[in-house]
Amino acid sequence: MKLYLNNLSKSYGDKKVLDSVDYTFTSGKIYALLGRNGAGKTTLFNCINEDVLVDSGKVYLETEYGKNLININDIGYVVSTPIVPEFLTGREFLKFYLDINKDENHKSIDEYFDLVQISRNDQDKLLRDYSHGMKNKMQILINVISNPRVILLDEPLTSLDIVVQEEMKNLFKKLKKDHIIILSTHILELAVDLCDEIVLLNNKKIIPVEKDNLNTKKYKEKIINLLKEDKNV
């Protein structure tokens, strides 16, 4: 399975954010979309997810059924600030979501909670009383249940504590086999630690990076210097 970005461009007024972006992502890998704050990572995700209209270009998904324009149902989008119905308990929300996404392969509610390590004591709390990390876990569960082919992760770990970060990393690694996972971040260490491939969003373009070389101080400095030259921020 492959995700193709073909000639994507996007401007806001006189400010061009993406300029003829071309790249191909393949399933079975976690990609880091590395860039500075303001480089356009969220804009790129919003273009893929059709939350904003592109000025030009197309997004295609190639599956066993052929290559076609991507469908919104093929995409799961986890945003950095979780949005959940805070008037429901975790269990009520999960039951509701399972009811509208019926599938013979679904696990039980308890199995899903166990998957993201939400304790029995927390499952019946209102979502408004969940921590940021727990709300983020619920976002991930929604995507596990709906099982989209492409999962976009927009800075999902930035504000989580180290324990929850490790739990989420392990879950992403389990999911990558049958999905295309793209994680946007501005944290180089996270990109090196978690992801199989790294691409830079720099000067309105996507630039691939040889990950193996990132373990050297010299190459990390090269990446940082490239990012410093981004005129888009």
pLDDT in tens, 141-186: 888 888 889 999 988 776 677 887 888 888 888 888 889 999 998 8
Total tally of structural domains belonging to the chain: 1
Query: What's the pLDDT score for residue 216?
Result: 75
Domain assignment present for residue 7? The answer is: yes
Strands ordered across the beta sheet of 75-78: 75-78, 150-154, 180-185, 30-34, 197-202, 205-209
Query: Residue 10 sits in which domain range?
Result: 2-83+149-228
Q: How far is CA 151 from CA 43, 51, 205, 222, in A?
A: 15, 15, 21, 29
Is the residue at 161 inside a domain? yes
- Enter the pTM of the model: 0.87
Confidence of residue 43 (pLDDT cuts 50, 70, 90): very high
The 10s digit of each residue's pLDDT in 87-109 is: 999 999 999 888 888 765 677 88
Q: How many CA atoms lie within 13 A of 216 on its CB side?
A: 7
pLDDT of the residue at 233: 66
Q: Is the pLDDT of residue 45 over 90?
A: yes
Q: What is the model's pLDDT at position 159?
A: 66
Residue 212 above 90 pLDDT? no
CA distances (Å), origin 95, targets 55, 99, 125: 39, 6, 14
CATH number for the domain harbouring residue 61: 3.40.50.300
